[in-house]
Structure 1
Amino acid sequence: MSRPAGCSTLSTHPPRPPNRMCRRRGTCPRPSATRTRRIRREPPLRRPAPTTQGSPECPGRAPTRPKRRPLRHTANRPARTGRIAAAPPHHRSLTWTWSFTTGRRAPVGPKERTTMRRSTTFTSIAVLAALGMSLTACSSSSSPKSSGSGGGSVAAETLYLEDNTGATAFTEDFNPFDGNSFGRTQNTDSLIYEPLLQYNTLNPTQAPTPWLADKIDWSSDGKTATIHLHAGVKWSDGSPLTSEDVAFTYQLVTDNAAANTQGVPKAASIATPDTSTVVLTFASPEMASAQAIGNQLIVQKKQWSAVSGPATAVIKASQAIGTGPYVVDAFAAQKVSYKANPAYWGGKPKVPEVAVANYASNDAATTALAQGQLDLAGNDINNVLTSFVAKDTQHNHLFQTDAPYFPAGNTVALLLNTKSPTAPALADVAVRKAVSAGIDRASMASQCETNYELPASSSGGLTLPLDQSSLNPATAKDLKPGSDASAVQSLLSADGYAKVGGKWTKGGKTISFTIIDPNSFTDYWCDAKAMQQTLNGLGFDVKVNGDMDYNGWNTAITTGKYDVALHWGQGTTAFQRLQFILDSTLTSPVGQPSAGDFSRYQSSAADAAVKQYQNATTPADQQTALNALQQELSTNVPAVPVLYGASWYEFSTANFTGWPTKDNAYVNPTPQDQSYEYMILHLTPVK
């Protein structure tokens, strides 16, 4: 990975022990791997056909090439909340949105759920059309190039991105610490706010890329991190970035647990010996948390020192001050656009605008993508080769050309709320183990995920093959792909349950719970119904509820007001993936938002293993802690590994080139990763 044009490179990097802890769509979430979602199918958007006599909307004006039909900028609508705080991830893990200027080429709509986060510039217009919004007939601004065009002299201006579908309306909130804000739910925070270092989560052994920091030096005992800031960085309001801003940010997140979505350890002291140096001193070794420290998005002290409740404060578009390559240009309930920051310290971005639009469902986003109205999406698309790639084989591409086409970037798990007042049976570990044994992972993978997401094989929770080097051998291949009725029978009978009327019953109560997943997440909804059918056939009493939008679902999970939910994993390292599930310091009482441990599971052994990893100074010590965490999840099952979540990523080269691929994996591209910004800065408009 390299700095954007105009930035100096670094010859040395801070040491990176393997599997070091690092959001998301965290965080120890972030929530950051993000997935597909669906709601109503919207009418397809179509670009006007080129004509020598002028466009259909403006007769007499001869367009140089077909363009995306612009949509009228509409008034704000009630907005929904966002995605679960991502673990230091899509992955991420954050996605970015870009500038939209009324009259310029407009974006189609935001994408369905993805598993990771990226930076992109879009103008959200076409999306509004898909949502039945009115169109603006004639635009006086330059017309963007349409996909499928083979030449021309007008470069594309707006990058259209779709990250998460199913929102009733966008919420005008750009708080990078709030898991329900627009930036977090659409993974676009990094377009505005930036980290100290950039990490390639597809290659954990790769040294981080210097960003706001030129380097972070660690003491030999792992107790001191010295941050050396890059010179010449300015906030979007024109003021310089200083060590005071960085020190303030770390103090803020460690003083406010709900805002600490990266899992940053608390420093015993924070010093700023000069304007470009920050020294974090810890009571115990914390080198294992180097990625969490490097991933932290930095905010301005002048602004945030006056903010009350940083994890929940609403930051309007006009208040979103950052160091990033983009600033918010326009906000509406159905679209958000970003424009390039003209004073960006890394040089003016080649992509002038980024737009994110609100698609009601995966189907709607898939239609727009296939018709060339999106440049980047992170959807689960059934039969992706015929539904997308074959529509324009010259320009429509995936990360890799061989099955399963998408790299595994997280572990999709069934979160079991151990503190649910409506499903008390879930507090029983035998019941949780029986649920894991009863589900049919292979059937869900083939019928609901088109085998793009494969059955989880390890109860330890790591993502395979990505985390193969960190796998605890004791948990390798211990999950059966199919339903195991005999194991369910054995577990529940030994726990005192007996079948009454075909249902497992103890003390007059059945094993009853409700799985929640928005029916707009077409694949997850299919998975939920498949689990309901299989488990009910084995004697459980399972219901499903999909009557909610993404925000409602996310809020229910983060506040603990649910029984069971299928959710993608969070985190960008093996440790973070486990920490997100097991670290009780990330959770809160039911009714209050939490940054992780959404199962409300509390275990002194798990917490001790988390601390052991954070204090480890050698790879061997880290692996010992990872083995303990995997064994804890396998033994007590607060979450059930179900599938290896795909890093959804579809892109078009019709308007922009420079996308990461399997052969050029310079960054994790899925629209749910904190490196979104990094990817967009590598793109070049097609002329």
Structure 2
Amino acid sequence: MEIIKILFSSGGNKMKLWKKVALGSASILAITTLAACGSSKASGSKSSTSAHVLTFGKPDGPQTNNSNPFIGTSAASNQGYRYAIYETLVQYNDVDPSQKPKAWLATKWEWNTDYTQVKFTIRNGVKWSDGTPLTAEDVAFTFNLIKNTPALNTSSIPFGDITTSGNTVTINFTSNQFVHQTAMYGQFIVPEHIWKNQDPTKWTNQKPVGTGPYVLKTWSTQGVTLTANPNYWGGKLKVPTIRYVEYNDNTSLTSAMTSGQVDDGFVYIANYKTAWLAKNKANQAWYPSTLGNTTLFTNDAKGAFSDINFRKAVSTIIVRKQLSQQGTTGASNPITSLTGLPESGKTFISTDYEGKTFKSSASDAKAILTKAGYTGVGTKNSLKDSKGNAVSVMLTDPSGWSDYDAELQLIGSEIQELGATVTVQNPSFDTWSDQVNKGNFDGALHWTDSGFTPYNIYLDSMDQSFYKPLGQVANYNFGRFQSPEATAALKDYAAATSDAQRTKDLATIEKVYVDQVPVIPVLEVPVWGNYTSRYYTGWQLNRILIPILI
């Protein structure tokens, strides 16, 4: 049977970065083949599972009826069903950035040599779910919508003219967009005849019309049901119905999965080998890492972490292998390179840092503070900085994010070894998001964006062009780190027209990252692929297209 499968990728549009969905990143749909399993209890020739409603689960709590694909906090985004209704021009793989992108709504695309123009050839024969043909004008309309709506253009892409000719769309830019290629590929396309009179930042779009394989049938707080799109250009679907259900936290979703209520869950499962794999031989897990990292974002504008010496000491005392084992049962590998790059990004490590890795040492961490003039080092709740101020740290992550909550407790205990007073808070997501966006925190664990280069890791962490004073909402660089050198190198990297120039710029960026410790990278970012072949088999036919809900 056919089923939606998710290829993880960055790009797309985000109304808010901080959301417990796949890297804050967008995903791209792929359609592949599954086979329905027969039931040992069934009698007769017809499989009892043929009409099984495939159910996806997420741990983000109650939702409101909003199917706007542009808004990162809408139900369609949080629960993931926007990827079943809307489609993108090109598919690309965030798990393996070296993999060649795949044609989707566009059959062909071509960039000019300096990446200031891209031409897309739009697939013929595609219809919107209301029966209206997809046109190049719909694609142009979508990108003009992004261009003319600053709230949607969170990557600040400098669009120029956007034109059509037959089934070709030409998008011009006022500067090099090498680093934003995937933002073009991964943009959801919407129908002009539906959206032309709507405000894309506010409209709840409760009767969505897309080109994707499924259409919205019913929406309720108990679950969202989609049925096969009769107009789908990719052919008839053999899974007639899919369902999306939200749970309050990781624990409740895991329980639903082990009891057979959910077939595919994007969730961290503590002790997954025992709690998930051992429960049923049909249960599977696959946790590939993306080119991003899990980072302790530090507030570099105020408090203890505003001192580079304290940041260095904390980075030195953290036992990353312990975080991996105790926080994720080894599912998320520790970051080892000083550059913060995961294994998938090792080819981007500059020659100056090849083979240079984090070495955890409590004594070395304490020595850093002592040399910097701190007193009370290593004595419980007695640490004072060089000016005589007591050192206290407030660490925060949302309640229910059990993996991050456990990791934050471990980090807190390690910081306490230095003598600092530490509190760990787990507020609601909305409260936490407001704290972090406005700089009202000391430290928070979160993942960086990912991509086909390390650009997004470093952009998120230290691009001064996104700097906002404390109390104002920052879209990136939540720690308020300031480095003109890193910012200039990031800008040059994005504008470079040769690999040699990009290599040079990346070396500068990595040096600032290592020397000034704008954030503290700790773990690789896995994609939590938990699924069961209890009702459908064939998930493993292409591990890159493993079914994952975001």
By the TM > 0.5 criterion, same fold? yes
SS at match of 1:671: coil
Question: Which residue number corresponds to residue 348 of structure 2?
Answer: 470
State the Cα deviation string for residues 147-171 of structure 1 (Å, max 9, x = none): 77678424034111113x152x113
Give the match for residue 367 of structure 1. 255
2:142 aligns to what? Answer: 249
CA separation in 2, counterparts of 1:340 and 1:30?
Answer: 30
The answer to whether residue 289 in structure 2 is matched with residue 408 in structure 1 is yes
Q: Which amino acid aligns with 1:418?
A: D
SS of 2:47's equivalent in the other structure is coil
1:237–1:337 CA distance, 2 compared to 1 (3 A): same
Asked if 1:346 corresponds to 2:234, the answer is: yes
3-state SS in 2 of match to 1:259: coil
The answer to whether 1:565 aligns with 2:444 is yes
Distance in 2 of aligned mates of 1:3 and 1:353: 10
1:576 to 442, 456, 467: 456
Give yes or no for contact 1:218–1:287 (8 Å, CA) kept in 2: no
Shift of residue 446 of structure 1? 1.7
Q: Greater relative contact order (Cα 8 A, min sep 6): structure 1 or 2?
A: 1
Displacement of 1:527 after TM fit? 0.9
* Cα pair distance change 1:277/1:594, threshold 3 Å: farther
Report 1:108-123 matches (<5 A). Answer: none
Alpha-carbon offset, residue 592 of structure 1: 5.5
Secondary structure of residue in 2 paired with 1:505: coil
Cα separation, partners in 2 of 1:509 and 1:250, compared to 1, 3 Å: farther
Q: Which residue of 1 aligns with 2:92?
A: 199
CA separation of 1:495 and 1:379: change in aligned 2, threshold 3 A:
same
Q: Which residue of 2 aligns with 1:132?
A: none
Q: How does 1:6-25 map to 2 (within 5 A)?
A: 23=11
The Cα of 1:278 is off from its aligned counterpart by 1.4
SS in 2 for 1:445: helix
Superposition pairs of residues 483-632 of structure 1, within 5 angstroms: 483-490=361-368, 492-499=369-376, 502-548=382-428, 550-573=429-452, 574-585=454-465, 593-632=473-512
Partner of 1:330, secondary structure, is strand
Indicate yes or no: 2:184 matched with 1:293: yes
Task: Give the secondary structure class of the aligned counterpart of 1:448.
Answer: helix
How far apart, CA to CA, are the structure 2 residues paired with 1:417 and 1:234? 48
Q: Does 1:665 align with 2:543?
A: yes
Q: Deviation of residue 86 (structure 1)?
A: 4.7
Alignment of 1:90-169 (within 5 A): 92-93=26-27, 152-154=46-48, 155-163=50-58, 165-167=59-61, 169=62
Go from structure 1 to structure 2 and tell me whether the alpha carbon gap of 1:413 and 1:388 turns closer, same or farther (over 3 Å shift).
Answer: same
Which residue pairs with 1:357 in the alignment? 245
Relative to the length of structure 2, the TM-score reads: 0.86
Q: Report which of the two has the higher share of helix.
A: 2
Contact persistence 1:253–1:264 (CA under 8 A): no
CA shift for structure 1 position 528: 1.0
* SS at structure 1 position matched to 2:305: helix
Alpha-carbon distance in structure 2 between the residues aligned to 1:461 and 1:584: 19
Percent identity between the aligned chains?
31
Q: Secondary structure of 1:599's partner?
A: coil
- SS of equivalent to 1:528: helix
Task: Give the conservation status (yes or no) of the 8 Å contact 1:83–1:184.
Answer: no
- 2: CA distance, partners of 1:498 / 1:287: 48
Q: Which has the higher strand share?
A: 2
C-alpha separation between the residues in 2 aligned to 1:222 and 1:242? 24
Q: SS of 2:445's equivalent?
A: strand
Cα distance, 1:667–1:609 mapped onto 2, change above 3 Å: farther
What code does the residue aligned with 2:376 have?
Answer: K
Give 1:522 shift.
Answer: 1.6
Q: What is the Cα deviation at residue 288 of structure 1? A: 4.1
Whether the 8 Å contact between 2:129 and 2:231 is mirrored in structure 1 is yes
Deviation at 1:513, TM superposition (A): 2.7
Compared CA separation, residues 340 and 623, structure 1 to 2 (3 A): farther
Distance 1:253 1:148 in 2: 52
Partner of 1:392: 280
CA shift in 2, pair 1:569/1:286, >3 Å: closer
In 2: Cα distance, 1:245 partner to 1:595 partner = 28
Q: Which amino acid aligns with 1:446?
A: Q
Question: How much has 1:652 moved relative to structure 2?
Answer: 1.2
Say if 1:22 and 1:160 are closer, same or farther in 2 by CA, change over 3 A. closer
With 550-559 and 324-333 compared, the bigger mean Cα shift is at 550-559
Distance 1:323 1:598 in 2: 36
Identify the residue that residue 269 of structure 2 maps to in structure 1: 381
Contact 1:438/1:483 (<8 A) preserved: yes
Deviations 1:137-188 (A, max 9, x none): xxxxxxx98977678424034111113x152x11322233322222332333
The offset of 1:256, in angstroms, is: 4.0
Structure 1 counterpart of 2:78, from 182, 185, 190: 185
Matches within 5 A, 1:276-315: 276-308=167-199, 310=200, 312-315=201-204
Tell me if structure 1 keeps the 8 A contact 2:223–2:243.
yes
Cα separation, 2, equivalents of 1:519 and 1:542: 18
Conserved? CA contact 1:518–1:546, under 8 Å: yes
Deviation at 1:223, TM superposition (A): 2.5
Alpha-carbon distance between aligned partners in 2 of 1:560 and 1:252, rounded to the nearest angstrom:
30
Write the distance in 1 (CA, Å) between the matches of 2:52 and 2:442.
46
Asked if 1:438 is matched to 2:325, the reply is: no
Residues 314-343 of structure 1: per-residue CA shift (max 9 Å, x gap): 42422x332222222222224222222222
Given that 1:83 and 1:551 are in contact with CA atoms closer than 8 Å, whether structure 2 keeps it comes out as: no
Q: Please tell me whether the aligned partners of residues 175 and 495 of structure 2 are also in contact (alpha carbons under 8 angstroms).
A: yes
**1:637–1:249 Cα change, 3 Å:** farther
Matched residue SS, 1:499 = coil
- For residues 589 and 250 of structure 1, the distance between their equivalents in structure 2, rounded to whole angstroms, comes to 31
* Equivalent-residue separation in structure 2 for 1:504 and 1:625 (angstroms): 38
1:617 maps to amino acid? T
Residue 217 of structure 1 pairs with residue 118 of structure 2 = no
Identify the residue that residue 270 of structure 1 maps to in structure 2: 162
- CA deviations 1:275-303 (Å, max 9, x no partner) are x2211223343344322211122223344
Distance 1:475 1:257 in 2: 38
1:5-38 deviations in whole A, cap 9, x for unaligned? xxxxxxxxxxxxxxxx954xx7589968xxxxxx
Secondary structure in 2 aligned to 1:246?
Answer: helix
Instruction: Report if aligned partners of 2:16, 2:475 keep a CA contact under 8 Å in 1.
Output: no
Per-residue deviation at 1:593?
Answer: 5.0
Aligned partner letter, 1:434: A
Residues of 2 paired with 1:628 and 1:30: CA distance? 29
Contact 1:570 1:576 in 2 (8 A): yes
Would the aligned equivalents of 2:88 and 2:186 in 1 still touch at CA under 8 Å?
A: yes
Which of residues 294, 311, 317 is equivalent to 2:206?
317
Inter-CA distance 437–295: structure 2 relative to 1 (3 Å threshold)? same
Number of paired residues? 534
* 8 A contact 2:95–2:289 mirrored in 1: no
* SS, match of residue 410 in structure 2: helix
CA distance in 2, matches of 1:624, 1:156: 56
CA deviations over 1:75-108 (Å, ceiling 9, x no partner) = xxxxxxx547955x4xx437x9xxxxxxxxxxxx
Q: Which amino acid aligns with 1:398?
A: A
Aligned-pair distance for 1:649? 0.9
Shift of 1:531: 1.2
Alignment TM-score, normalising by the size of structure 1: 0.70
Q: 1:255 to 1:385 in 2, by over 3 A?
A: same
Gaps of 5+ in 1: 5-20, 33-81, 97-117, 121-143, 400-405, 673-687
